[in-house]
């Protein structure tokens, strides 16, 4: 995807400050790294490398959030790139009362929801009562051992598949809370909903996730059982055939 903005022409979204970058001009007197707001102000003044550094700083988390919500890594990369293009086009209207990440997450989340709505029909939403949030048991990648790497990756794929199967307004808050670790107050700003609404969506999303997880587990067990039954039947049939051949020979 190419555009007049400073995104990589190879479509990778990997951009960064060039040699002799003017980004140094936004560093403070102590020479520390510029804040996101510093970079935005510099980009608003026309310093392209400032925006490139902003993208470089946040492109990983934009992709990660998109990947939690859509099933394809290519789609997630496209959504992350589109999010930064929209940021670039709207940079002059940025509200400095908010964090840049809140704005970026809102754009990525809305793009992912639109993508999912176009990709598949709306599934059931279901009603539900308000109540205490129930913890969702997700894989803890920080504690993985080398021998568990494959199992962790497979579990992560299954978690993403379950989240993607949820209605988009549930999958969004679930990914932001459980996978990105954002507080409900920030999620409310991102999805443009009240704090109470976000807590209710999380409550319902966790229940729907658990139901979807258990449904897939039952389906997997049923398929495994069917394969074992088929293999056993095939083995018994082959044994009977061998006995029949032996009988023919003795006759």
pLDDT in tens, 176-200: 888 788 899 989 989 888 888 999 9
Asked if residue 102 and residue 22 are part of one domain, the reply reads yes
Asked if residue 101 and residue 135 are part of one domain, the reply reads no
pLDDT for res 161: 83
Which distant-in-sequence residues (6+ apart) come within 8 Å of 125 by Cβ? 167, 169, 170, 204
Asked if residue 135 and residue 75 are part of one domain, the reply reads no
Asked if residue 100 and residue 179 are part of one domain, the reply reads no
Asked if residue 75 and residue 56 are part of one domain, the reply reads yes
Provide DSSP, 209-229: HHHHHHHHHHHHHHHHHHHHH
Q: Which residue has the higher pLDDT, 32 or 57?
A: 57
CATH number, domain of 166, equals 1.10.10.10
Asked if residue 116 and residue 76 are part of one domain, the reply reads yes
pLDDT for res 142: 46
Closest CA to 56 of 26, 36, 82: 36
Give one word for 20, left, alpha or beta, with left for phi > 0 and alpha for psi -120 to 50: left
pLDDT for res 50: 92
Q: Which residue matches tokens 């400050």? A: 17
Q: What is the distance between the alpha carbons of residues 49 and 46, in angstroms, rounded to a whole number?
A: 9
Asked if residue 84 and residue 44 are part of one domain, the reply reads yes
In a domain, 102, yes or no: yes
Q: For Cα atoms 141, 146, 149, give the angle at the middle one, nearest 5 degrees.
A: 50
Asked if residue 37 and residue 89 are part of one domain, the reply reads yes
Asked if residue 11 and residue 93 are part of one domain, the reply reads yes
pLDDT for res 60: 93
CATH number, domain of 53, equals 1.10.1740.10
167-193 in b/e burial notation, b at 16+ Cβ within 10 A? bbbbbbbbbbbbbbebebebbbbbbeb
pLDDT for res 124: 37
pLDDT for res 168: 86
Query: Of the residues 86, 120, 154, which one is the last residue of a structural domain?
Result: 120
Q: Which domain holds residue 205?
A: 131-139+146-251
Asked if residue 236 and residue 157 are part of one domain, the reply reads yes
Asked if residue 153 and residue 114 are part of one domain, the reply reads no
Confidence tier at 146 by pLDDT (50, 70, 90): very low
Query: For 12-99, where are the alpha helices, taking DSSP H only?
Result: 36-44, 48-69, 73-89
Number of domains in the chain: 2
In a domain, 125, yes or no: no
Asked if residue 9 and residue 113 are part of one domain, the reply reads yes
In a domain, 183, yes or no: yes
In a domain, 126, yes or no: no
């Amino acid at each position: 995807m190419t555009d007049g903005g400073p995104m990589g022409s190879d479509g990778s979204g990997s951009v960064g400050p060039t040699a002799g970058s003017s980004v140094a001009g936004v560093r403070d007197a102590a020479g520390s790294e510029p804040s996101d707001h510093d970079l935005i102000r510099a980009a608003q003044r026309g310093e392209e490398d400032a925006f490139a550094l902003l993208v470089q700083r946040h492109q990983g988390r934009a992709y990660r959030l998109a990947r939690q919500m859509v099933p394809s890594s290519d789609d997630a990369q496209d959504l992350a790139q589109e999010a930064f293009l929209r940021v670039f086009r709207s940079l002059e209207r940025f509200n400095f009362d908010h964090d840049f990440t809140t704005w970026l997450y809102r754009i990525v989340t809305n793009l992912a929801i639109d993508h999912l709505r176009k990709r598949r029909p709306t599934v059931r939403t279901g009603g539900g009562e308000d109540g205490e949030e129930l913890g969702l048991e997700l894989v803890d990648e920080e504690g993985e051992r080398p021998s568990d790497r494959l199992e962790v990756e497979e579990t992560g794929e299954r978690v993403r598949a379950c989240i993607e199967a949820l209605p988009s307004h549930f999958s969004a808050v679930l990914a932001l809370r459980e996978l990105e670790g954002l507080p409900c107050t920030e999620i409310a700003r991102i999805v443009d909903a009240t704090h109470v609404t976000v807590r209710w969506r999380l409550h319902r999303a966790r229940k729907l996730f658990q139901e979807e997880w258990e449904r897939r587990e039952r389906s997997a067990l049923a398929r495994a059982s069917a394969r074992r039954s088929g293999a056993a039947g095939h083995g018994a049939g082959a044994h009977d055939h061998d006995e029949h051949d032996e009988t023919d020979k003795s006759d």
